[in-house]
Amino acid sequence: MADAHAERVKGIFSQIARKYDVFNALSSFGIYRSWLRRVAQAAACTGDDRVLDVAGGTGDVAFALCDACPPASIELTDFTPEMLDVAGERIASGAGRGVACALNVVDAHQLPYADGSFTVVTCAYGLRNFSQRRRAMAEAARVLAPGGRYVVLEFGTPPNALWRALYRFYLAHMIPFVGGLVTGDRSGFEYLRDSIQAFPPQEVVAGELREAGFSQVAYENLTGGIVAVYTAVR
């Protein structure tokens, strides 16, 4: 589904793909690694699981699963080929730990998979970049087998007012600065900042997941609500 928003996002991530992992490490002071471990714990994969990683980028979530709870296979997808190029290089270097990892350029709004194809779907930092996130949620539900798990990592709204104010200050001033320093593309990180600020609070997202057909929807705030891990069952 090509639209102006999608093409803008694709253009930004194609430009920053090679430096994206460095940016994540610096901008989060390394804390993002603990967020990935929590995603893996929530996914709780076994050797029988077939995983679809939507908006998988350079493979952080997929490889966290390979480390912590290796599934039978992972379909690692993203809308930006350049991000998957980096993921492919990481697989070649052994990041997949022997798990069968396929790479595919995929639009999250229109997944090219049959109903019930997967037992686990993951999505990190993707929902806020989708032009129609409810449609993307519904597509995730469609390709999940009954009882399958949807695990989402996304930026959130800290419930504590002081922490929220400090976080918003950091977003406003430091994200574009660090991104520009690392990649030379400050404008792309101004978009990332704006997308985080515009994303709805956790309870709203949880409600949208229920409307998309999921049950047992829950979320856990991490780092004071800077991010949240959502879990839902098909």
Q: Residue 144's pLDDT band (boundaries 50, 70, 90)? A: very high
Given this model, what pLDDT does residue 186 score?
Answer: 77
Distance CA 59, CA 78 (A): 10
pLDDT in tens, 155-175: 999 999 999 999 999 888 888
Asked if residue 223 has pLDDT above 60, the reply is yes
Q: Residue 224's pLDDT band (boundaries 50, 70, 90)? A: very high
Residue of 211 and 195 predicted with greater confidence: 211
Transcribe the chain into DSSP letters: ---HHHHHHHHHHHHHGGGHHHHHHHHTTTTHHHHHHHHHHHH---TT-EEEEET-TTSHHHHHHHHHS--SEEEEEES-HHHHHHHHHHHHTTTTTT-EEEEEE--TTS--S-TT-EEEEEEES-GGG-TTHHHHHHHHHHHEEEEEEEEEEEE---SSHHHHHHHHHHHHHHHHHHHHHHHS-HHHHHHHHHHHHHSPPHHHHHHHHHHTT-EEEEEEEEGGGTEEEEEEE-
Cα radius of gyration (the chain): 16
Given this model, what pLDDT does residue 128 score?
Answer: 92
210: CB partners within 8 A, 6+ apart: 217
Average pLDDT value over all residues in the chain: 91
Q: Residue 22's pLDDT band (boundaries 50, 70, 90)? A: confident
12-34: average pLDDT: 80
Report the 10 Å Cβ neighbour count for 188: 22
Share of the chain above pLDDT 70, in %: 99
Q: What is the CATH number of domain 4-156+200-233?
A: 3.40.50.150
